[in-house]
């Protein structure tokens, strides 16, 4: 235990030092699961506009555990995440506090924010079906439910069913169809897999390109990351091998998730943190998000990136509240285990 505490103390040191070396009145401290290349330009714009210094700790994991450990002594004001799951967990664990803001309520549709204002979406992304251009005819698959059709036996690739992106999708299936139908759907999709679930979203598109499978599940922004990838140009070939299918356009719409933000429970710079949340919800920041990571702005009417306009255009989105979907994630995980989806 002592070793664990020593490690956590060392982890906590950089932000503590940063927080005490600047003006105490005009700063905001951020724990960010989002990557620096996305966030830093917007924080610099925020500081230029408001004079408020933004101190950030970037990490791929462990920030919520750090909030739990620090408790009332945490220097963090704001938690930024790349998915609904950590936001929901943080709120459920009473690590956040509600924000009353007309700006946030005006800029962020109700389905993408917590009903009690404990978290707010900042960007959205669609969970797509990537279909082989060579082996899947246009219009041959149009719904998530179609993935269970026996015609796709041995032709589907996906990452783990327990990954957050898939758990959220399965949670949406639970919300729309109930447990019995979702369990059967999951069993049938498992029976159609070309291989044991593995890898990330991009690995599934690569597998389609290589003929391992004909269909794959993946988030929409990965297409932009692949088709523009100059450092790994082979990824352009992966992306060029698929058509993008936005499922359920003739009924409820395509499942959407979010990246987002939450005000920490003991935020020492609460007013500045709310200013930053509002700044990130405004048109300038939303456009920067859209350009940097090929995500969809959460704020209605915001200009999307040229690439999204070229390849994705307008589509119907599932407007179910993400709070309801997030609440069903634990049930989704139980179903994944029950049907042995990852085995």
327 close to 166: Cβ distance less than 8 angstroms: no
Beta carbons within 10 angstroms of residue 187's beta carbon: 16
222 labeled binding residue: yes
Containing 184, the helix (H) or strand (E) segment is: helix 179-191
- How distant is the alpha carbon of residue 333 from its chain centre? 17
**Three-class SS of residue 302?**
coil
The H or E element containing residue 121 is strand 120-132
DSSP state string for 39-107? HHHHHHHHHHHH--EEEEEE-SS-HHHHHHHHGGG----EEEESSHHHHHHHHHTT-B-----HHHHHH
Residue 111 near residue 321, CB atoms below 8 Å: yes
Q: How far apart are CA 225 and CA 252, in angstroms?
A: 27
- Does 88 show up as a binding residue in the annotation? no
Annotated binding-site members for Fe cation: 221-222
Annotated binding-site members: 221-222
């Amino acid at each position: 235990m002592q070793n664990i505490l020593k490690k956590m103390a060392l982890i906590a040191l950089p932000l503590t030092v940063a927080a005490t070396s600047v003006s105490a009145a005009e700063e905001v401290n951020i724990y960010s699961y989002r990557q620096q290349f996305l966030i830093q330009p917007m924080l610099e714009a925020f500081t230029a506009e408001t004079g408020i210094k933004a101190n950030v700790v970037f990490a791929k994991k462990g920030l919520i555990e750090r909030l739990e450990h620090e408790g009332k002594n945490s220097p963090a004001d704001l938690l930024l995440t790349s998915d609904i799951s950590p936001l929901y967990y943080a709120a459920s664990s009473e690590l956040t506090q509600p924000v009353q803001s007309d700006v946030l309520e005006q800029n962020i549709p109700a389905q993408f924010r917590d009903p009690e204002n404990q978290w707010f979406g900042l960007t959205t992304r669609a969970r797509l079906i990537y279909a082989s251009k060579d082996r899947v005819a246009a219009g041959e698959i149009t719904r998530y439910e179609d993935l269970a059709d026996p015609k796709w036996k041995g032709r589907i690739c996906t990452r783990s069913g327990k990954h957050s992106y898939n758990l959220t999708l399965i949670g949406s299936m639970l919300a729309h169809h109930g447990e019995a139908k979702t369990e059967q759907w999951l069993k049938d999709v498992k029976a159609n897999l070309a291989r044991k679930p593995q890898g990330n979203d991009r690995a599934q598109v690569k597998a389609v390109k290589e003929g391992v499978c004909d269909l794959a599940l993946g988030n929409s922004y990965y297409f932009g990351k692949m088709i523009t990838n100059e450092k790994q140009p082979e990824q352009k070939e992966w992306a060029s091998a698929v058509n993008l299918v936005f499922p359920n356009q003739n009924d409820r719409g395509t499942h959407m998730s979010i990246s987002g933000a939450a005000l920490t429970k003991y935020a020492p710079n609460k007013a500045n943190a709310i200013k930053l949340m509002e700044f990130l919800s405004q048109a300038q920041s939303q456009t920067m998000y859209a350009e940097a990571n090929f995500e969809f702005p959460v704020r209605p009417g915001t200009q999307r990136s040229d690439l999204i306009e070229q390849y994705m255009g307008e589509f119907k989105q599932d407007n179910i509240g993400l709070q309801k979907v997030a609440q069903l994630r634990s049930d989704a995980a139980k179903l994944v285990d029950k049907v042995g989806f990852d085995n």
